[in-house]
Amino acid sequence: MKDYKLGRDYALEQDRIDPLRTFRNRFHIPKNEKGEDLIYMTGNSLGLQPKITADYVNEELEDWAKLGVEGHVQGKHPWLHYHEFLTETMADIVGAKPSEVIVMNTLTANLHFMMVSFYQPTKERYKIIIESDAFPSDKYAVESQLRHHGFDDQEGLILWRPRDGEELLRYEDLEAILKEEGDRIALVLIGGVNYYTGQFFDLKRITELGHQYGCKVGFDCAHGAGNVPLNLHDSGADFAVWCTYKYLNSGPGSLAGCFVHERHGNNPELNRFTGWWSHNKKTRFNMRGAFDMLPGAEGWQLSNPPILSMAAIRASMDEFKAVGFERLREKSIKLTGYFEFLLNNLGDNVIRIITPKNSEERGCQLSIQVKNADKSLHDKLTEKGVISDWREPDVIRCAPTPFYNSFEDVYNLVERLKTILND
């Protein structure tokens, strides 16, 4: 936007006219010892707790106390089918059909389960492409998959790298990799939004490119789910995984999500690990019959899920239903654009933003480098009541999350940064 203005009055006015302003009051905002709100900019690491979460979790605790095992079928929200209470809203958030989405396990566990199905190497086609600066857990996971299948974890891993002197990845370079080695690549696995730079990739473009060379294509959407419009079904991706504790506000270490495109959902020949929760619901408790696979993404489940974690996810899903993801995205673009505007007005080229300038190529996170600064700058920001995120070697990540961050939050953050820089 070109009509951003400097000064606190502008920030206050934007908050006054913000149609989502009341949603901040529906979250617990961390406070300092004086009881003042901290400036919380790390929804990209752990989202804040919705105030309704305690009630949702306590409801299940009460049913457990009153009903014991009968809570599976007699509870207010019967545990036997609890994951179904999450599916429709989660599918809306990630742009999928409900049959393509399941909440289960945790992020890296889901990544491994997906690779059981979608990484099927041969002697000729076994390599995996990831970003050179992918989230470490993704790199560890694919390296271990290569070793598990008897391949060298260095020779079999291809890194999509930025060019010298750049941080962002170029699609032309991915195209060049596939043109050279496409017939030896089994899997393209990319983070939907890169955790370090905040670059939001064109999932459909990458999928079409990978499929052109016969590769399976999957995405780790941990930094995308609840942040950007992923449109997973339309992307054509074979699979995707994401956590729910960042922008989806479900609590530390909570359950994760999986997407399996519908073209794979009913394929009994597709290799997978199975358990009794992927068995036909109608006969699951007969215990004696042969395995009867559930259709769709549900067919990748293994075990009955932890209900207390799912209750926290249900609370967040209800908040997403209340606000509407499109409205969140609209505010996100405006709020992050305002943050960028203020940083760029600090002058003297003090700040370098490595996140893409185009709002369609980023979510709410901006990754910033400060000239001649080290981690002590981040520490000083923390002392001034700003909860941000430091990533080696020299990046501070800030994510003004539209659910609960305000324009005044952004203004105050930049003012405190300015004070530190002028000291």
CATH number at residue 403: 3.90.1150.10
Band the pLDDT of 2: cuts 50, 70, 90.
low
User: What is the Cα–Cα distance from 2 to 25, expressed in whole angstroms?
Assistant: 29
294/330 same-domain check: no
Inside any domain, residue 20? yes
- Range from 277-281, 315-319, 389-393 that averages highest in pLDDT: 315-319
* 348 has pLDDT over 80: no
Which of 304, 334, 356 is the endpoint of a domain? 304
Mean pLDDT value across residues 16-28: 98
241/352 same-domain check: no
* 320 has pLDDT over 70: yes
37/122 same-domain check: no
245/277 same-domain check: yes
Through-space distance between the first and last CA atoms of the chain, rounded to whole angstroms = 31
| 257, amino acid identity | G
263/357 same-domain check: no
207/353 same-domain check: no
Contact status, residue 139 vs residue 190, Cβ threshold 8 Å? no
Q: Is 339 exposed, middle or buried (0-12, 13-18, 19+ CB in 10 A)?
A: buried
Neighbours of 215 (CB within 10 A): 25
* 139 has pLDDT over 60: yes
Number of H helices and E strands in the chain, helices first, is 14, 13
Inside any domain, residue 260? yes
User: What is the Cα–Cα distance from 32 to 206, expressed in whole angstroms?
Assistant: 44
Q: Which two tokens stand for residue 372?
A: 């001649």
221/345 same-domain check: no
Helix, strand, coil percentages for the chain (3-state, nearest 5) = 45, 15, 40
112/157 same-domain check: yes
* 350 has pLDDT over 70: yes
pTM score of the predicted model: 0.96
Structural domain span for residue 40: 8-48+325-422
Of 135-139, 151-155, 180-184, 265-269, give the lowest mean pLDDT range.
265-269
Which of 238, 271, 304 is the endpoint of a domain? 304
Q: Which two tokens stand for residue 116?
A: 């059981």
Of 160-164, 213-217, 329-333, 373-377, give the lowest mean pLDDT range.
373-377
Band the pLDDT of 326: cuts 50, 70, 90.
very high
Mean pLDDT value across residues 19-41: 97
* Coil, strand or helix at 393: coil
What is the pLDDT, as a whole number, of residue 285?
87
Contact status, residue 220 vs residue 246, Cβ threshold 8 Å? no
Mean pLDDT value across residues 130-152: 97
What is the pLDDT, as a whole number, of residue 76?
95
What is the pLDDT, as a whole number, of residue 381?
94
Inside any domain, residue 3? no
* 1 has pLDDT over 70: no
111/154 same-domain check: yes
Inside any domain, residue 62? no
User: What is the Cα–Cα distance from 211 to 302, expressed in whole angstroms?
Assistant: 29
Inside any domain, residue 75? no
Which of 270, 304, 338 is the endpoint of a domain? 304
Of 56-65, 193-202, 281-290, 323-332, give the lowest mean pLDDT range.
281-290
Mean pLDDT value across residues 381-390: 94
Please report, for the domain that includes residue 282, its CATH number.
Answer: 3.40.640.10
The total domain count for the chain is 2
289/355 same-domain check: no
Instruction: Please provide the average confidence, as pLDDT, over all residues in the chain.
Output: 96
158/261 same-domain check: yes
295/189 same-domain check: yes
* 370 has pLDDT over 90: no
Inside any domain, residue 361? yes
Inside any domain, residue 68? no
Inside any domain, residue 319? no
Residues 239-288 have pLDDT tens digits of 999 999 999 999 999 999 999 999 999 998 999 999 999 999 888 888 88
